[in-house]
C-alpha cells in the first residue's frame, strides 16, 4: 500500500513538472503557427434624452497584422433597438488613442438605446521570427519613430533616467543583433523586477522599487529600449474570457516590423492568443450641450468557435538559454531578413488606431514587400468591408 502511495505522489510530481515551464531557457511551441477563432459579442445600453440629439462613441475592436501576430475581424454586424441616423468611424486621443464607431440619433423616441455588435475574430501567432536588424538604426528610422524613442511624460516613460546608463551599456556590449538587445532587456526585467499588482507606477518608480505588474514592467522595458535606440511602445489589451486588462510591449525591427514581447508572461517575439486588442473599454456619450459623459465597464464576451487550449505543455525543446530568468516562451529567431511571404507591419498600433483610412473591421491583408524605406502599404485596392450597418 505504501509503495502504491509513493508511486501516486511521484506521478503527481511528474505531471506538475510537465505542466510548468522549465526553470531557465527560452522554449518555443511545437507548432509553428497557432490559431484561434472567436465569436465576440459586445452589448451596450446607451442612456439618451428622449427627443434630443445624442451621439455615442463605442470603441472599435481592431484588425492588425504582423510578422508573428495577427488579429483579423472576419465578420461584424450591428443590431440596434433604435436605428441611428448616422454612423461613422472616428478616432481621438482623449486620454488614450482610440478608434470609435460614432453613432448619432437626431431625435430618439426613447430614453435608452441598446446596441449589440457580433463579430467573428481570427487570431494567429507564429513562433518563427526573422530579423537581422542591428544597432544603431538608420537616421531615417530614428526620425520616423522619434515619438517612440524619446521621453513620454503622458505615458510615464523616461529613457533619460541616468540610472539606466550602466544597465543599458552592459546590455548593448553583450549583443550582436537588435533582437539580442530586446531579449536581454526582458531578461534583466524578469530577473530584477518582482511581479506585484500595484497601479500608478511610472518607469522611474518601478526601477527604484524593483516591483510592479504588467503595465509598469512594460513602461520600464520601453524606457530601456528607447534609451538603447529601439522604438518601443506599451500595448493595452483585454483578456479573453474575463474582464481583466493586460499590457505588454511592441518593439520595432526595420526588417521584421513591429513585434510583441510580454514581460509579465515571459513571452518573447510573439504573444500567445489570450488577449484581444481593443483600444479602450468605456464608451462615450455626447450630450446636447456639448459635454461628454463616460460609461465605464466591460461590455464584451468571447466564445471559442473551434476547440482551443493555450497549454504550455505544448512547448518543445529549448531554443535559447537565459542566464537567471525563469523559463520563457519565445519565437525561434533566425538572424536573416524575413522571407517575401512575411507580412511585416511597419506602423505601430497607436498609429493604425488613429488612421481612419484603415478600417477597423474585415480586411484581407495581402501586402506587397515593403520598399527600401519600409513605408506602409497605401494601395487601397486591398479588399475590405466595413462592418455591416444592419
Encode pLDDT of 194-238 as tens digits: 988 877 689 999 999 999 999 999 999 999 999 999 999 999 999
Residue 102 lies in a domain: no
Range of the domain at 157: 23-32+127-278+316-346
Q: What is the pLDDT of residues 272-302, one digit of tens each?
A: 999 999 888 899 998 777 678 899 988 999 9
Residue 255 lies in a domain: yes
Residue 378 lies in a domain: no
- Any bridge partners for residue 284, and if so which? 57, 294
Q: The cell 510530481 sits on which residue?
A: 13
Residue 172 lies in a domain: yes
Residue 120 lies in a domain: no
Residue 101 lies in a domain: no
- The DSSP-derived string for 83-115 is --SEEEEEEEESSSEEEEEEEEESS-SSSEEEE
pTM for this entry: 0.85
- Give how many domains the chain has, as a whole number: 1
Dist CA 73 CA 200 (whole Å): 33
Of the pLDDT bands very low, low, confident and very high (cuts 50, 70, 90), residue 385 is: very low
Residue 51 lies in a domain: no
Q: What is the pLDDT of residues 99-144, one digit of tens each?
A: 999 999 999 999 999 999 999 999 999 999 999 999 999 999 999 9
Residue 187 lies in a domain: yes
Of the pLDDT bands very low, low, confident and very high (cuts 50, 70, 90), residue 325 is: low
Structure-block grid coordinates of residue 4: 502504491
**What CATH number did the domain enclosing 329 receive?**
3.10.620.30
Dist CA 327 CA 188 (whole Å): 14
Amino acid at each position: 500500500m505504501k509503495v502504491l502511495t509513493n508511486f501516486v505522489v511521484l506521478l503527481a510530481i511528474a505531471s506538475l513538472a510537465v505542466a510548468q515551464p522549465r526553470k531557465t531557457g527560452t522554449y518555443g511551441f511545437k507548432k509553428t503557427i497557432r490559431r484561434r477563432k472567436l465569436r465576440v459579442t459586445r452589448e451596450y445600453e446607451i442612456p439618451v434624452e428622449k427627443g434630443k440629439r445624442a451621439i455615442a462613441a463605442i470603441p472599435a475592436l481592431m484588425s492588425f497584422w504582423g510578422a508573428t501576430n495577427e488579429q483579423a475581424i472576419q465578420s461584424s454586424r450591428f443590431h440596434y433597438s433604435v436605428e441611428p441616423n448616422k454612423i461613422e468611424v472616428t478616432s481621438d486621443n482623449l486620454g488614450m488613442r482610440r478608434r470609435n464607431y460614432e453613432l448619432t440619433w437626431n431625435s430618439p423616441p426613447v430614453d435608452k438605446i441598446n446596441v449589440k455588435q457580433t463579430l467573428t475574430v481570427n487570431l494567429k501567432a507564429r513562433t518563427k521570427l526573422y530579423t537581422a536588424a542591428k544597432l544603431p538604426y538608420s537616421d531615417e528610422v530614428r526620425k520616423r519613430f522619434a515619438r517612440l524613442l524619446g521621453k513620454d511624460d503622458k505615458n510615464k516613460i523616461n529613457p533619460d533616467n541616468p540610472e539606466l546608463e550602466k544597465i543599458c551599456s552592459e546590455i548593448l556590449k553583450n549583443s550582436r543583433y537588435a533582437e539580442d538587445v530586446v531579449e536581454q532587456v526582458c531578461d534583466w526585467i524578469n530577473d530584477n523586477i518582482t511581479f506585484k499588482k500595484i497601479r500608478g507606477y511610472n518607469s522611474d518608480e518601478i526601477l527604484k522599487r524593483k516591483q510592479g505588474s504588467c503595465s509598469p514592467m512594460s513602461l520600464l522595458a520601453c524606457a530601456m529600449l528607447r534609451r538603447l535606440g529601439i522604438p518601443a511602445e506599451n500595448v493595452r489589451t483585454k483578456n479573453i474570457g474575463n474582464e481583466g486588462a493586460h499590457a505588454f510591449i511592441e518593439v520595432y525591427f526595420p526588417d521584421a516590423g513591429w513585434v510583441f514581447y510580454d514581460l509579465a508572461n515571459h513571452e518573447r517575439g510573439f504573444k500567445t492568443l489570450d488577449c484581444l486588442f481593443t483600444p479602450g473599454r468605456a464608451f462615450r456619450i455626447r450630450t446636447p450641450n456639448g459635454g461628454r459623459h463616460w460609461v465605464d465597464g466591460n461590455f464584451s464576451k468571447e466564445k471559442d468557435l473551434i476547440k482551443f487550449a493555450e497549454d504550455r505543455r505544448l512547448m518543445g525543446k529549448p531554443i535559447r538559454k537565459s542566464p537567471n530568468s525563469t523559463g520563457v516562451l519565445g519565437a525561434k529567431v533566425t538572424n536573416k531578413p524575413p522571407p517575401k511571404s512575411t507580412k511585416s507591419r511597419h506602423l505601430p498600433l497607436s498609429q493604425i488606431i488613429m488612421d481612419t483610412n484603415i478600417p477597423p473591421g474585415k480586411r484581407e491583408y495581402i501586402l506587397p514587400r515593403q520598399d527600401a524605406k519600409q513605408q506602409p502599404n497605401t494601395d487601397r485596392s486591398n479588399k475590405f468591408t466595413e462592418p455591416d450597418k444592419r
